[in-house]
């Protein structure tokens, strides 16, 4: 049986492929009402438990909240029938979570802004489950646009963790929500530390406080370039994504995907600095190459310091479980960007290192989202055997491999992106003189220096992310000698 999320995702994708548009409208209604439910949440109950038994505090709710809560409990069977009527090839019983989600039909429109907080409190645990299996960004975006500003603000302040992490919510709103969630969680954790006597718990709280403090530190803007916290998970396996620039308007968007030992608590500040360095490099190159453009200015750039999955450590690096989770999360991130930028699509690139490159390859093998460029550094590969198996436009894939990197050519997870048969373009990482600027660039040695500022690799990554791959140094089909640059390097 497929998961509810897979069921909804399959419905949406089948609808988009319908040449006559017969299913599009109806599918949108069904999935949208499911998301309306999801934003608030609805409990999943065994059939033999009376619906009202799940709401011990219904009598204490306002009449409006109680009415909607009762309707949530009473409606699941009719929604299940409706879902199966629309999707003929859906498996029998699409899943209780789908039923529960769809059973809250019109809840947001029926509740006033004043009633929303109480309703959210009554369904707090379901909100967490919503993020574990989120709806599609297109559906969330459609629902969000239907809400008036007062309800949007109420949801943001009542459930910032949910609003801040749902793809399809405007990035500025998510930034506000996650900043609020970060501030509240720091305050709550600090307060708990003053009253907690257990040593083990105090150590855990202090670790969490340190992690959150580092996220706050990473959010400090440099040179007036804004930073937006577009994802934040404050649980033990914290996750975060910080955007340098404006993700809503940038012409070029680069998503940086990290490899092992890149936890939020220990690396988020440095990862944001790396994204900032890439941002600065890209802006510099755009100004250099494009020159004055009248009143148009330089095209906007956004780089994403993405730590959207639990990166592995030495003890669990050998399996693909975390890579698959990373692929799921990255897929949602990329779909979210393309959904929010549908009217003005950016040039979208993924720059991935080590184990993170395997996660990126797994995501792009699914052909659910297409990027404009992909760069892989120190990659242990995946089961994709060539660039033709990846959703990258025009096969625009680059591979960087340092001479002393023990991971490259290992094909540890099934393929070697640096092999001639793979079909990727090789990019130089050994250092040399920049043929355009004459600047001396450092080389990357070993497995962990690809993102070092001032290196040939970072210069090449910046150019790949702004559609200037033709200027990449050392560019050649992988497995063949690199083309010499103008300085003979």
The predicted pLDDT at position 121 comes to 85
Pair of tokens at residue 238: 């914290």
Rounded-to-integer distance, Cα 404 and Cα 266, Å: 26
Rounded-to-integer distance, Cα 185 and Cα 144, Å: 25
- List pLDDT tens digits, range 438-459: 999 999 999 999 999 999 999 9
Rounded-to-integer distance, Cα 142 and Cα 145, Å: 5
Q: Are 425 and 470 in contact (CB under 8 A)?
A: no
Rounded-to-integer distance, Cα 350 and Cα 374, Å: 5
How many CA within 13 A on the CB side of residue 222?
14
The predicted pLDDT at position 57 comes to 37
Q: Are 142 and 71 in contact (CB under 8 A)?
A: no
Pair of tokens at residue 427: 């990019």
Query: CA dist 316 to 165, 253, 410, Å?
Result: 26, 31, 17
Q: What is the DSSP letter of 48?
A: T
Q: Where are the domains of the chain?
A: 4-158, 221-477
Left, alpha or beta for 3 (phi > 0: left; psi -120 to 50: alpha)? beta
Positions of the chain with pLDDT lower than 50, given as ranges? 1-61, 72-106, 481-489
Q: Does domain 221-477 have CATH number 3.40.50.1820?
A: yes
Rounded-to-integer distance, Cα 299 and Cα 292, Å: 11
The predicted pLDDT at position 243 comes to 98
The DSSP bridge pattern shows strands 425-426 and 476-477 to be: antiparallel
pTM of the entire structure? 0.80
The predicted pLDDT at position 476 comes to 63
Q: Are 15 and 27 in contact (CB under 8 A)?
A: yes
Rounded-to-integer distance, Cα 207 and Cα 196, Å: 14
How many CA within 13 A on the CB side of residue 324?
5
Give the three-state DSSP class for 416: coil
Q: Are 136 and 143 in contact (CB under 8 A)?
A: no
Q: Are 446 and 404 in contact (CB under 8 A)?
A: yes
The predicted pLDDT at position 113 comes to 83
Rounded-to-integer distance, Cα 454 and Cα 2, Å: 47
* Beta partners for residue 229, in sequence order: 242
The predicted pLDDT at position 217 comes to 98
Give the three-state DSSP class for 80: helix
- Find the DSSP H helices in 319-476: 321-340, 355-364, 456-465
* Beta partners for residue 477, in sequence order: 425
The predicted pLDDT at position 235 comes to 87
- List pLDDT tens digits, range 150-166: 989 998 999 999 999 99
Q: Are 400 and 429 in contact (CB under 8 A)?
A: yes
């Amino acid at each position: 049986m497929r998961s509810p999320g897979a069921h909804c995702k399959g419905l949406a994708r089948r609808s988009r492929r319908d040449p006559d548009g017969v299913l599009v409208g109806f599918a949108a209604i069904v999935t949208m009402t499911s998301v309306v439910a999801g934003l608030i949440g609805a409990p999943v109950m065994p059939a033999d438990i009376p619906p009202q038994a799940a709401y011990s505090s219904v009598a204490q709710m306002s009449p409006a909240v109680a009415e909607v809560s009762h309707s949530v409990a009473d409606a699941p069977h009719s929604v299940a029938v409706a879902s199966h009527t629309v999707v003929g090839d859906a498996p029998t019983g699409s899943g209780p979570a789908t039923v529960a989600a769809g059973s809250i039909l019109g809840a947001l429109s029926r509740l006033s802004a004043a009633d929303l907080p109480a309703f959210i409190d009554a369904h707090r645990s379901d909100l967490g489950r919503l993020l574990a299996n989120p709806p599609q960004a297109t559906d969330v975006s459609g629902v969000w646009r239907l809400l008036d500003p007062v309800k949007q603000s109420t949801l943001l302040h009542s459930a910032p963790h949910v609003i801040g992490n749902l793809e399809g919510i405007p990035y500025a709103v998510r930034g506000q929500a996650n900043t609020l969630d970060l501030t509240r969680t720091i305050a709550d954790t600090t307060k708990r530390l003053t009253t907690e006597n257990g040593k083990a718990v105090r150590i855990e709280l202090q670790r969490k406080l340190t992690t959150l403090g580092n996220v706050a530190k990473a959010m400090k803007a440099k040179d007036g370039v804004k930073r937006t916290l577009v994802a934040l998970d404050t649980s033990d396996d914290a996750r975060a994504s910080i955007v340098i620039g404006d993700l809503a308007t940038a012409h070029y968007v680069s998503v940086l995907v990290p490899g092992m030992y890149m936890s939020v608590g220990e690396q988020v500040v440095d990862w944001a600095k790396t994204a900032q360095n890439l941002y600065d490099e890209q802006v510099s190159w755009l100004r250099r190459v494009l020159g004055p453009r009248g009143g148009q200015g330089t095209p906007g750039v956004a780089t994403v310091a993405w730590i959207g999955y639990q990166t592995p450590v030495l003890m669990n690096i050998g399996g693909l479980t975390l890579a698959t989770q990373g692929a799921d999360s990255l897929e949602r991130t990329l779909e979210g960007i393309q959904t929010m930028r549908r009217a003005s699509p950016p040039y979208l690139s993924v720059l991935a290192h080590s184990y993170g490159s395997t996660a990126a390859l797994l995501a792009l093998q699914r052909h659910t989202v297409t990027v404009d460029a992909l760069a892989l550094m120190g990659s242990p590969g995946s089961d994709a055997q060539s660039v033709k198996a990846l959703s990258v436009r025009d096969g625009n894939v680059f591979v960087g491999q340092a001479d002393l990197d023990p991971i490259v050519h290992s094909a540890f997870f099934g393929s070697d992106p640096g092999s001639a048969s793979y079909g990727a373009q090789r990019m130089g990482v050994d250092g040399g003189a920049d043929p355009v600027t004459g600047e001396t660039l450092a080389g990357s040695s070993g497995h962990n220096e690809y993102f070092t500022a001032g290196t040939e690799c970072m210069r090449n990554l910046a150019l790949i992310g702004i559609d200037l791959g033709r200027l990449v140094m050392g560019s050649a089909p992988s497995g063949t000698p690199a083309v010499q640059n103008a300085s003979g390097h």
